[in-house]
Structure 1
């Protein structure tokens, strides 16, 4: 059966969709959607094709948009996306995830919400916000946001989240209780004798290896890490990279040893491509060695950044890899990063990039 690929881009001015067939040689751009609201994350349910877009700000409020016809029409709901009266209000939705337990949304200020009806209504998972350490969570440069949502593929009780700047937290009981899982990750901005705290690290991205739910990869403000036990212990895998600093990480759809990164030149050095030369870095041995992939990417004056959710893969063979820049350029590779093309130059600032493969 013929298949098609959708690239889902969340931007400063709405959602954009690019569509191609399985060859991924030419793309049709549609949008902007979602009334040009600022959209932080767009995902799709591969089983139904339903698209969800989370975003908002202090002016619009938070909401999750929904399209059941691949972007032709949209509705949105914020029912239940609120903290109790008297608490700091929810400003925006920052991350979305679909799993066995339904639809989840991470928000700012950091918190987690669940929907059992496809985004129509939302329930606050209070166990995370009630964690004893909550008063010690401090905002990163982008605010106090829950930006990474990792769901166990088979057990709806197991969830990992990444919060800037509080660290990684894990629940085994559906969100009633949570444990910090940051052992082994540095916090270079703390005094030397406090570099490995229980929590307070600035995690930037958290992804799960395919077929290995206990293997997690983490791009941190202070290093790149792998865990083989669900985050109970982290090991550095940054040797061979041009920088220990970056935002996004993307797992291969089938190979648990393959991972893609976009290191930047440093947290106080500009936060752009090292030496102004764009590269996606790939490992085939779970971080033991790294290779820079540059063919087709700009190698002069590439002073752009890539945000934490703006790098992804697709599920085809060979896997496609995609990333979007803060300047609105969208790049794609149909051969696992060996070669690249620019699909669009002038989108609004790109906050997130995801894909879905559907029957045509």
Structure 2
């Protein structure tokens, strides 16, 4: 059997799918799909190969699109993607995650969590997150009050972590019935002096889980880069050696829990682009103790773009592939763990998310 690699791209004007063989040297681009709806996140169920795309806005409304033929055809549903009467309406779906049993989760704006057990045809609101005592005090980040990061524990389906801008990281160990804030050790520099380490209110940008099942998490925050070795109960800064404490996406190595990729920007109030206009992906192989800039093949000089919070991913091949998309529409890929880079597609719409799928065909 031959391996096929798919890169799933969400953009402001629909979803795109790129396909290659295991060598990852030549790619076929297909799309745009989802009727060019604003698409915030595209994911795959690795067991079935089913694709899901979440998006919408206050004009279109929220929806999750579904393809069972790798993008050739799509359907969508918003049944149940709504809060109870009297609450602010759901504007869009921001994040998706598929559990090992096929259960599908969706994070939305305003921040909340929904679950589907029928492949996205209908949805149930998991209102335990909305009932957290801190909910009345959550404040929106620059993109709104969005639940943008969804992390499921592959070994325990009842464990869920979410990242909310700008409320912080929350975790559930009972399948979403109850939640606790897990932000100890992460800064909120925008808070008044003396209140920079609150229980909640941090502006987390991206939350990912390392492989290996040891409860290690990484996050890229508005105010630093962090690692947790205890499921988010405490966080340690790992930003030393990076050119900035500000950026959006993070992606873990598929097999090495000490491997992480970040894209630091030049700062939150200085333009939010690649430092000095030189594109780089920064990698650590020792859990953040040291960092190396990977630039070969990336534009150097005049690269005044950034990468958004869900726009970087790795694949599961050996060596691992690394991919990121820019807000300027460029999709970049490395088939050697970031040592060298190529541009797969230079002129897509603004890229909001990048994920991968590897299938045996």
- Note if contact 1:55-1:64 (Cα within 8 Å) is conserved in structure 2: yes
Distance 1:346 1:9 in 2: 13
Distance 1:338 1:212 in 2: 27
Distance 1:359 1:233 in 2: 39
2:153 aligned with 1:183: no
Residue equivalent to 1:85 = 85
Taking the TM superposition and a 5 Å limit, the aligned residue runs for 1:156-175 are: 156-175=157-176
CA positional deviation for 1:100: 3.4
Distance 2:124 2:283 in 1: 38
CA positional deviation for 1:333: 0.1
Indicate the SS of the match to 1:275: helix
Q: After superposition, give the CA deviation of every residue in 1:165-206 in whole Å (9 maximum; x if it has no partner).
A: 000000111111100000000000012200000000000000
Bigger drift between 209-218 and 43-52 goes to 209-218
Indicate the SS of the match to 1:214: coil
5+ residue gaps in structure 1?
Answer: none
CA positional deviation for 1:99: 1.1
Taking the TM superposition and a 5 Å limit, the aligned residue runs for 1:327-342 are: 327-342=328-343
Distance 2:179 2:330 in 1: 38
Indicate the SS of the match to 1:336: coil
Residue equivalent to 2:44 = 44
- Note if contact 2:155-2:213 (Cα within 8 Å) is conserved in structure 1: no
Residue equivalent to 1:6 = 6
Query: CA-atom RMSD, angstroms?
Result: 0.7
Indicate the SS of the match to 2:128: helix
Q: TM-score, normalization: structure 2?
A: 0.99
- Note if contact 1:100-1:155 (Cα within 8 Å) is conserved in structure 2: no
CA positional deviation for 1:287: 0.3
Residue equivalent to 2:208 = 207
- Note if contact 2:95-2:150 (Cα within 8 Å) is conserved in structure 1: yes
2:163 aligned with 1:148: no
Indicate the SS of the match to 1:212: coil
Segments of 4+ moved more than 6 angstroms: none
5+ residue gaps in structure 2?
Answer: none
- Note if contact 2:333-2:344 (Cα within 8 Å) is conserved in structure 1: yes
Taking the TM superposition and a 5 Å limit, the aligned residue runs for 1:288-299 are: 288-299=289-300
Bigger drift between 261-270 and 93-102 goes to 93-102
Distance 1:82 1:113 in 2: 9
CA positional deviation for 1:213: 4.3
Indicate the SS of the match to 2:194: helix
What count of residue pairs does the alignment treat as equivalent?
360
CA positional deviation for 1:6: 0.5
Q: TM-score, normalization: structure 1?
A: 0.99
Residue equivalent to 2:265 = 264
Indicate the SS of the match to 1:218: strand
